[in-house]
Structure 1
């Protein structure tokens, strides 16, 4: 009898099983995205994320262990107190040379280059 035979293509349970498989794949992809995110809440690493560097709306997110801090640019130029410590020069070969300034009453010291040699 043809009416008593079951046709596998018309079984509604098979389509539900296919949907469950699809959702499992979507969940696996989302888990991979969460783990690969640098601001992953399950990571103990220290991370700094800079959004829009050099722009007026620049933001910095600093994650140190479980603590997450956010810094936003105010657009103002910073100002501080200090004195000139010396002069830096770039040589023709790309190395940097730093020449410290002598203290107010002392003798002048040698210059230290980027490769650590004294001149």
Structure 2
């Protein structure tokens, strides 16, 4: 009688199946796609996609509040963020005119007679 020996080589015939790190590369790709999607969602949630364009922009966040911020972006310069402080600006200068706030919220600037310049 002949005995047949069966080998269990059929389970590991493909070389890719021998390397346990092949699945890790796929997980890294998925993590990269997820992180880019998260960054895009974060920019869109702040409603400031204008910061990604080349145009000059000024954004006022929380106007009139204690935590007010002014974000200024000019082409060729880094983005500048100014926070509200309790300090009062000072210095010397001259009055240029008067600003009036109308009932509908518009502000009208009226220059003084000596400060009118023509362009």
* TM class by smaller structure: 0.3 to 0.5
Calculate the TM-score normalised by the size of structure 1.
0.46
Structure number having the greater strand percentage: 1
Calculate the TM-score normalised by the size of structure 2.
0.46
Structure number having the greater helix percentage: 2
